[in-house]
Amino acid sequence: MDGTYRITTLGCKVNKADSLVMEKGFCQRGYVPVPQGETPEVWVVNTCAVTEEAFRKSKKEVKRAKKNGARIVVTGCAVEMKPEAFEEIGVFYAVKNIHKENIPSYFTTRGERADHALARERTRVPLKIQDGCERGCSYCVIPRLRQKACLPMKNVLARARELAQDGAGEIVLCGIDVGRYKDPESGKGLEELLLGLAEEVPDTWIRLSSIELSEVSEGVISLLAERNPGNICPHLHIPLQSADNKVLSDMGRGYAGEEFFEKLSRIKRRIPDVAVSTDVMVGFPTEGKEEFLHTLDFLKEAGFSRTHVFKYSPRPGTKAEAFGDVVSPREKSDRARRAREVASSSACDFHRGFVGRIIMVLMESFCEEDGGVLRGRAMPYMQVGVRGCPELVGKKVAVVIEEASDSGLKGRLEDLTRGCNNFSGR
């Protein structure tokens, strides 16, 4: 169908942020998104290659789109890694990451500018402030696939204003190494950016997507603890990967398990109700059974609010590729299962601390088939379910928390005039 488009996004929030920029570009050229089940004129697949499984999924998605007869444009990290894999499929364009935001301009304008909504991201919207990484973790291929760059602070503020005007209830600041953000014009860093955003869009929640341990500075902790204007979310996602010092050294992570635990403890002491989530990799080539148990014990003690567990897969051109892939698939799966069991218990413990309280929740969706259930997220990133009406989607509402599980919280709507505990009603 002429004048229509679809963007399929795989992988991280950075890709999602890139896709939103492309979506706006298509709307500016008069294109409109097609509903599911219909074939667009232009179909963009924004791919991922962080793991072998992600690369396979990306290639599978491109092949699926190709069968529909659309003009296929493929971009993202899988294209950077192995462009020939997609050229063989016969795509219309294969575009590098650095040029992906220009993709809409490759196609003829189809009419007057279409209304640009936030499409699938109406409430919690990712905003890329930084790209690329130079840390050199031995298992990671991303430094080869993305160029390091920071968006000027004035551009970030302008984009945030635009998103807030479009109805975004929360803006998620994302990048590959967000903690090393530096305004290319003034040299101001992440703390100044957070404060600037908090002032620029005071009715919108601001969340950091992920930050490395070394960048959780005293200034960042102080900002969340004592200097928070009220709309910066008390949530830090800090990748752990492993808690064994030998494995951490082989990974090139630059810290020891003890250092991570000490800073984690300090964060929890200083920031009320803070949620600290993490990533853990199992099956790294130098992770034996004893090393894995060190990580498992750490997870039991740390009490993360949420833990993403994934299995190591060798990536071409990385330092860790030379280590081989010595942990069997069965052992990796067993370790992942055990780590997820601990993660589930920790998440449940964290969530129980909110039972009986009234907190603000940004509602993201409504499911009539599920009995009229609204689902949303609180500032510390817990998922919350409550019965209500679809008109509340996109709004921040007060919820009395009645139940907790590993997956989140359940409650009932509360009269806004009674206020809430600790979390902003903005």
Rounded average pLDDT over 311-322: 94
Rounded average pLDDT over 398-417: 90
Whether residues 228 and 311 fall in one domain: no
The whole domain housing 125 covers 121-233
Whether residues 202 and 240 fall in one domain: no
State residue 122's pLDDT score.
66
Whether residues 333 and 395 fall in one domain: no
Q: Provide DSSP, 247-270.
A: HHHHHT--S-HHHHHHHHHHHHHH
Whether residues 198 and 268 fall in one domain: no
State residue 120's pLDDT score.
46
CATH number of 179's domain? 3.30.750.210
> Which pair of tokens denotes residue 328?
């069997």
Whether residues 347 and 254 fall in one domain: yes
Residue 286 falls inside a structural domain:
yes
Rounded average pLDDT over 243-253: 98
State residue 5's pLDDT score.
93
Whether residues 368 and 348 fall in one domain: no
State residue 388's pLDDT score.
92
Dist CA 75 CA 94 (whole Å): 6
Residue 115 falls inside a structural domain:
no
Rounded average pLDDT over 103-107: 94
Which has the higher per-residue pLDDT, 183 or 38?
183
Whole-prediction pTM: 0.91
Q: End of a domain among 82, 106, 130?
A: 106
Whether residues 222 and 245 fall in one domain: no
Whether residues 32 and 14 fall in one domain: yes
The total domain count for the chain is: 4
Contact 49, 62 (CB under 8 A): no
pLDDT at 119 over 70: no
pLDDT at 217 over 70: yes
- Per-residue pLDDT tens digits for 121-173: 568 999 999 999 999 999 999 998 999 999 999 999 999 999 999 889 999 99
Find, among 243, 229, 240, 244, the residue nearest to 276 by Cα. 240
Dist CA 35 CA 48 (whole Å): 24
Whether residues 161 and 140 fall in one domain: yes
Q: End of a domain among 57, 79, 106?
A: 106
